[in-house]
Amino acid sequence: MLCSWLRRLKRSSGGRRYLRTGLALVAAFGAAGCLSLGGRDLSQLSLAQRSAFLVNFSNATFEPDVNVELTEMVRQEGERRGRLLLGDDRSLAQTVIYGEVTLYRKEGRLFDNYRNATRYELIVACRIRLRDGSGGDGVFYSGELAARTEFAESEGAVETERRARGRLLRQLAAQIHQAIEIAVADRASAPASAPDGQR
């Protein structure tokens, strides 16, 4: 999927510029693995193991409030999936979720005869860290995820940037939960480390 997208970027009129963007996202995607993540069934875990606390995301971009919107989307996605138990008491959570929006980019993809953009590409990327809330081994997962979409404000299926952004953030929130579920399940299934005297 990502490879075909990069080939399309290379053939576009601004090929080199878009290819640089695509190559930068390959690193953010972690060799494209995040695009194919599947969620995990956490029903076999205890309620304590599924407990989580969501810290408000921070924002390293110049786009105001995108971190606030993504935080709310992640919370809504968690309620919809019902796999993690997002609570209001940080001291009771085994997993503490931190996030930072690291990229918000809007670029023209199609142009009219006067070089005015008629269709745009929107890209959002974020960094996720999961910390053991029970005072254990600190950060047990860290990764970067990204999502992209296209929209047109003046022709075809008209859509405002705000609506396109909401749709994109919902997609990114689903990716975030898939990554969290896998990390929580892997941590729960990992063998406990032996005490120093028994190694």
Q: How confident is the model at residue 31 (pLDDT cuts 50, 70, 90)?
A: very low
In this structure, of 59-73, 87-101, 146-160, the range with the lowest mean pLDDT score is 146-160
Mean pLDDT of 156-183: 94
Q: State pLDDT tens for residues 85-143.
A: 999 999 999 999 999 999 999 999 888 888 888 898 999 999 999 999 877 668 999 99
Q: What percent of the chain has pLDDT over 90?
A: 59
- Which residue shows structure tokens 């990114």? 172
CA–CA gap between residue 159 and residue 184 (Å, rounded): 37
pTM, full prediction: 0.75
- The 10 Å CB-count burial string (b at 16+, else e) for 29-39 is beeeebeebeb
User: CA 159 → CA 101, 130, 173, distances in Å?
Assistant: 23, 35, 20
pLDDT of 168 above 70: yes
Helix (H) or strand (E) holding 51: strand 51-54
Mean pLDDT of 18-46: 54
CA–CA gap between residue 41 and residue 24 (Å, rounded): 32
Mean pLDDT of 70-89: 95
